[in-house]
């Protein structure tokens, strides 16, 4: 049986061959995945990890694709996307238990309906819970790792495990999950009692600030570079004269210099070339080597 048919037979969720990843990244960039799997539950994640391990197929994981630059030639082997099908959000006391594919916006809203707060600072980050925990996404001076009680993982052999937040090595845009390779299938967040009206007001304030300071009218992956210690990558790029720099249809935003925009039909090659130019500018002007915040996927 072909890989495609075997995956179809073993999985409840979606399986597609040659799926264009430009439809699954917020940059709207990326070539095809050989085999694209959207699991309908943790048992699908276990099946696909075992399947890939047994056949020696490369296995790649994504969430909402909001921090990814996928190569124009795409991704070989099996790509697992946690999204639709793994979005359940449950409330138990002041703990919010969420499957890895749920969007942060939905988690904030569901917690608010139970008068639980503590996740408002994430408003406007277009991430899945799994991706946000792996990246230790943050905003407004708070990181998601600060709220994680426990995660449930499926390792590359298909075994289920649990780890507490304290065991995940969270620091600025980092968790040990980035090198571990395990797939986050569920996260328990510890929240605090807060009225839904107050939460709604705060969320609206954060969203307004994003609309004022970020170029949300074009596809992007948010901040491209990490902030160096004690400084901001956006400030450095702007001061080095990087705003408006363009390669093909990729452009450094004039509103927020740490964003690279897809003006329509930009390729991964356009973006990576522009990344190189921006790095060189900042290095020549300030002697600082900017590190990438976005993850590269596929061949570059
Ligand atoms: C407009 C905009 C604004 C943004 N603002 C912010 C911000 O304020 N703060 C911030 O921190 N980020 C921000 N980002 C970046 C991005 O949203 C975060 O990095 C987010 O955490 C990525 O989540 P994701 O689900 O899209 O993950 P993806 O981009 O799909 O994946 C990111 C990484 O996580 C891995 N991964 C994803 N899901 C799983 C899983 N379930 N198990 C194991 N590994 C997994 C992937 O392999 C990849 O290495 C912004 C992006 C955009 C487009």
Cβ of 222 below 6 Å from ligand 1: yes
Domains in the chain, ordered, with CATH?
Answer: 3-81 (3.30.43.10), 89-213 (3.30.465.10), 233-297 (3.90.78.10)
**Ligand 1 mean position, distance from CA 125 (Å):** 8
Q: Whose CA is nearest to atom 36 of ligand 1?
A: 131
Q: How far is the CA of 9 from the centre of ligand 1 (A)?
A: 30
DSSP labels, 60-119: EEESSSSSEEE-TT-EEEEEEE-BTBS--EEEETTEEEEETTSBHHHHHHHHHHTTEES-
**How close is the Cα of 203 to the center of ligand 1, in Å?**
19
Q: What is the pLDDT of residue 54?
A: 97
Pocket test for ligand 1, best of 45, 131, 141, 255 (most atoms within 8 A of CB): 131
Dihedral sign for Cα 58, 63, 68, 74, please.
positive
pLDDT value at position 291?
97
- Tell me the CA–centroid distance for residue 217 and ligand 1, in Å: 19
Phi, psi for 173 (deg, rounded to 5): 50, 35
Which DSSP letter does residue 38 get? E
Determine whether the shortest distance from the Cβ of 260 to ligand 1 is under 6 A.
no
Is residue 163 a contact partner of residue 151, using CB atoms and an 8 Å limit? yes
Q: How far is the CA of 124 from the centre of ligand 1 (A)?
A: 12
pTM, two decimals, is 0.96
- Is the CB–ligand 1 distance for residue 224 below 6 Å? no
Q: Is the CB of 137 under 6 A from ligand 1?
A: yes
Per-residue pLDDT tens, the chain, 300 aa: give them: 799 999 999 999 999 999 999 999 999 999 999 999 999 999 999 999 999 999 999 999 999 999 999 999 999 999 999 999 999 999 999 999 999 999 999 999 999 999 999 999 999 999 999 999 999 999 988 999 999 999 999 999 999 999 999 999 999 999 999 999 999 999 999 999 999 999 999 999 999 999 999 999 999 999 999 999 999 999 999 999 999 999 999 999 999 999 999 999 999 999 999 999 999 999 999 999 999 999 999 999
User: Which ligand 1 atom is nearest residue 143's CA?
Assistant: 11
Q: Which atom of ligand 1 is nearest to the CA of 130?
A: 41
């Amino acid at each position: 049986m072909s890989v495609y048919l075997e995956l179809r037979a073993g999985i409840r969720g979606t399986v597609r061959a040659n799926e264009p990843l430009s439809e699954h990244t917020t940059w709207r960039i990326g070539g095809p995945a050989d085999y694209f799997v959207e699991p309908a539950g943790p048992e699908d994640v276990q099946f696909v990890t075992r399947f890939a391990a047994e056949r020696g197929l490369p296995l790649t994981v994504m969430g909402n694709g909001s921090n990814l630059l996928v190569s124009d030639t795409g991704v070989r082997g099996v790509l697992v996307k946690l999204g639709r099908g793994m979005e359940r959000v449950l409330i138990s006391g002041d703990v919010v238990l969420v499957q890895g594919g749920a969007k942060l916006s939905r988690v904030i809203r569901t917690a608010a309906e139970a008068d639980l707060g503590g996740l408002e600072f994430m408003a406007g980050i277009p991430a899945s819970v799994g991706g946000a925990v792996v990246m230790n996404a943050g905003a407004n001076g708070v990181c998601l790792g600060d709220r994680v009680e426990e995660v449930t993982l499926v390792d590359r052999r298909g075994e289920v495990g649990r780890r507490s937040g304290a065991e995940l090595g969270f620091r600025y845009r980092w968790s040990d999950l980035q090198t571990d390779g395990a797939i986050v299938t569920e996260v328990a967040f510890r929240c605090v009692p807060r009225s839904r009206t107050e939460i709604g007001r705060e969320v609206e304030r954060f969203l307004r600030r994003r609309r004022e300071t970020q170029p949300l009218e074009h596809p992007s992956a948010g901040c491209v570079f990490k902030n160096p210690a004690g400084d901001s990558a956006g400030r450095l790029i702007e001061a080095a004269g990087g705003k408006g720099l363009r390669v093909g249809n990729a452009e450094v935003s004039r509103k927020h210099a740490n964003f690279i925009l897809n003006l329509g039909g930009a390729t991964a090659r356009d973006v990576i070339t522009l990344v190189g130019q921006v790095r060189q500018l900042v290095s020549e002007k300030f002697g600082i080597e900017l590190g990438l915040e976005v993850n590269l996927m596929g061949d570059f």
